[in-house]
């Protein structure tokens, strides 16, 4: 969703570490991930956080900010972009757990930017392109090879809600 993209880019801009979890993650696994990552804020629904003192912001509230006429259409207070020290973790992406429990893989902002630039170059993505986001952003290929690579190249991204493979 546009709200997810806005949150992802906002986290990068302020130097916050994002922990991305697939929406279909089972509740027990989600509880373990929340326990391991010790978030200050969770964007999702009330079942996303089982830790006391963790703020839960419904995704619907973020989505309302990205709609025309939503509160997010006003000019935000601008600040200098964050410039974290080299090697600082920018995101933790959890594996699918196909060989056991899902594991958190840390990526630095430099690694994400490098992956995006290399992918955009390898695929020949140019500003005139529209890249369909057909993979989940909770997967590294969806996030870096589609979303970030397209943005890095100045291309547009077409957000796809659902793909019907039977069609």
- The model's pLDDT over 105-142, given as tens digits with 9 standing for 90+, comes to 888 888 888 888 999 999 999 999 999 888 878 777 88
pLDDT at residue 16, rounded to an integer: 82
pLDDT at residue 75, rounded to an integer: 45
Q: Is 102 exposed, middle or buried (0-12, 13-18, 19+ CB in 10 A)?
A: buried
d(CA 120, CA 124): 6
Dihedral over alpha carbons 40, 140, 101, 36 (to 10 degrees): -20
d(CA 105, CA 58): 25
Task: Please provide residue 132's backbone torsions phi and psi, each rounded to the nearest 5 degrees.
Answer: -75, 130
d(CA 17, CA 75): 24
Count, residues in the chain: 167
Q: Please state which of the ranges 32-36, 80-84, 119-123, 138-142 shows the lowest mean pLDDT.
A: 80-84
Question: Which pair of tokens denotes residue 107?
Answer: 């990526």
Determine how β-strand 104-108 pairs with β-strand 130-133: unpaired
pTM listed for this prediction: 0.72
């Amino acid at each position: 969703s546009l709200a997810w993209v806005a949150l992802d880019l906002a986290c990068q801009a302020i130097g916050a570490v994002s922990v991305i979890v697939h929406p279909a993650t089972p509740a027990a696994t989600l509880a373990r991930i929340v326990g391991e990552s010790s978030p200050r804020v969770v964007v999702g629904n009330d079942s996303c956080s089982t830790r006391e003192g963790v703020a839960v912001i419904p995704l619907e509230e973020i989505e309302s900010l990205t709609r025309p006429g939503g509160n997010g259409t006003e000019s935000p207070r601008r600040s200098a972009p964050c410039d974290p020290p080299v090697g600082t973790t920018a995101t933790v992406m959890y594996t699918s757990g196909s060989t056991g429990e899902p594991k958190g893989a840390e990526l630095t902002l430099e690694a994400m930017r490098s992956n995006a630039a290399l992918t955009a170059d390898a695929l020949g993505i140019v500003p005139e392109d529209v890249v369909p986001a057909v993979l989940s952003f909770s997967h590294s290929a969806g996030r870096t090879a589609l979303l970030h690579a397209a943005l890095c190249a100045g291309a547009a991204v077409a957000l796809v809600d659902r793909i019907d493979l039977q069609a």
